[in-house]
């Protein structure tokens, strides 16, 4: 469970709605909100995760009487009643993944990431929701070849996924900027979030599994591409801070301001696990940025956000969590006697 300090400024009966509640970041955020005394309605269509993954993510939430899970698709559901009385909506529901956004599956990205967001924002405005916190992505930038990327950088997404996330946040900012708008919006541009419950197709999860099992993974490109990795508890804390930030419409980076190459990351994961990550190279793929690097100036000023978990500590926590799921891990045994 994500550990977030309790703040006495949050009324015990404040109500939040979290879309994508059964997902990686969403489930951690729901736990943190309950810890702070919020009443939480989680919305998830439960089609984006294997049933056992969703069940595990929701394991600590379902027994809590302050948490209500509603199975609904934002692109089609009647949303007004779900948002009635909500103070804050945290919008994390989305179709993820850069590579699968090319081709025929793009229509699913439009439904989930664009149409669903638009309908949610419309309903939030009608319900008089005070604040919507929209989850966006560093994918909107396309890359950072010349240092840390501020929010003033012109977004140039390199993938259909990145384009839908940019449109999602622009929809939110447009809704909040209308004359007389009752709902304000903060869009958070996450830089590669990792930690317990991370999707199994993400880099750090695949590296950990490779080191634990000896199964090879593929490194696309030369492995010298750089990434800014954000631990999930920092992403959750950014959401909580964004719920209270004094602004009507803003987009803000959420990262660490530090980068590491893929090959350096592979070495670090192997060192922490105690066994090497087994990998092979393949050609770079469409949509992959050469570098991501968050400028946190606006996050510090607007949210009071600073990352608290360094990469080594975060990976140690994810490895410990992964090892706790020992039933499906077959760690290689030493040879000889």
Instruction: Please give the positions annotated as active site.
Output: 161
289: helix, strand or coil: coil
User: Where is 163: in which H helix or E strand?
Assistant: helix 160-177
User: If 0-12 CB within 10 Å is exposed, 13-18 middle and 19+ buried, where does residue 312 land?
Assistant: exposed
Residues 6+ apart with CB under 8 A from 73: 45, 116
CA-nearest of 158, 288, 311, 176 to 232 is 311
Please give the structure tokens belonging to residue 320.
Answer: 């410990």
Residues 6+ apart with CB under 8 A from 210: 216, 217, 277, 278, 279
User: What is the 3-state composition of the chain as percent helix, strand, coil, each rounded to the nearest 5?
Assistant: 40, 20, 45
Calculate the alpha carbon distances from 324 to 12, 93, 181, 302, 318 in Å: 33, 27, 47, 38, 10
Q: How far apart are CA 160 and CA 109, in angstroms?
A: 8
Q: How far apart are CA 94 and CA 76, in angstroms?
A: 14
Q: Tokens 């590669």 sit at which residue? A: 192
- 281 forms beta bridges with 219
Q: How far apart are CA 218 and CA 203, in angstroms?
A: 10
310: helix, strand or coil: coil
Helix axes 262-273, 311-324, angle to 10 degrees: 50
């Amino acid at each position: 469970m994500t550990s977030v300090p309790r703040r006495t400024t949050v009324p015990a009966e404040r109500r939040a709605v979290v879309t994508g509640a059964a997902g990686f970041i969403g489930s951690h955020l729901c736990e943190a909100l309950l810890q702070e005394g919020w009443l939480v309605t989680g919305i998830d269509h439960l089609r984006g995760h294997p049933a056992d993954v969703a069940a595990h993510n929701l394991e600590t939430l379902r027994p809590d009487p302050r948490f209500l899970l509603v199975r609904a698709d934002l692109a089609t559901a009647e949303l007004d009643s779900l948002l009635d009385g909500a103070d804050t909506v945290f919008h994390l529901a989305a179709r993820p993944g850069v590579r699968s956004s090319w081709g025929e599956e793009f229509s699913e990205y439009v439904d989930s990431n664009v149409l669903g967001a638009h309908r949610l924002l419309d309903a939030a405005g009608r319900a008089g929701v005070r604040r919507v916190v929209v989850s966006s992505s560093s994918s909107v930038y396309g890359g950072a070849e010349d240092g840390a990327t501020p929010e003033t950088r012109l977004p140039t997404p390199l993938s259909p996924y990145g384009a839908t996330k940019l449109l999602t946040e622009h929809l939110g900012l447009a809704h909040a900027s209308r004359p007389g708008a009752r709902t304000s919006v903060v869009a958070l541009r996450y830089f590669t979030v990792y930690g317990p419950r991370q999707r199994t197709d993400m880099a750090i999860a695949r590296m950990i599994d490779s080191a634990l099992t000896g199964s090879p993974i593929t490194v696309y490109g030369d492995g010298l591409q750089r990434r800014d990795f954000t631990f999930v508890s920092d992403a959750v804390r950014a959401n909580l801070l964004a719920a209270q930030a004094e602004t009507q419409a803003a987009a803000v980076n959420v990262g660490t301001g530090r980068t590491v190459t893929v090959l350096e990351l592979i070495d670090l994961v192997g060192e922490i696990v105690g066994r090497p990550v087994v990998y092979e190279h393949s050609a770079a793929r469409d949509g992959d940025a050469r570098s991501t690097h968050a400028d946190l100036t606006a996050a510090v000023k607007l949210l009071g956000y600073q990352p608290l978990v360094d990469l080594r500590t975060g990976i140690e926590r994810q490895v410990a969590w992964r090892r706790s799921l020992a039933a499906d891990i077959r760690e290689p045994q030493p040879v000889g006697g």
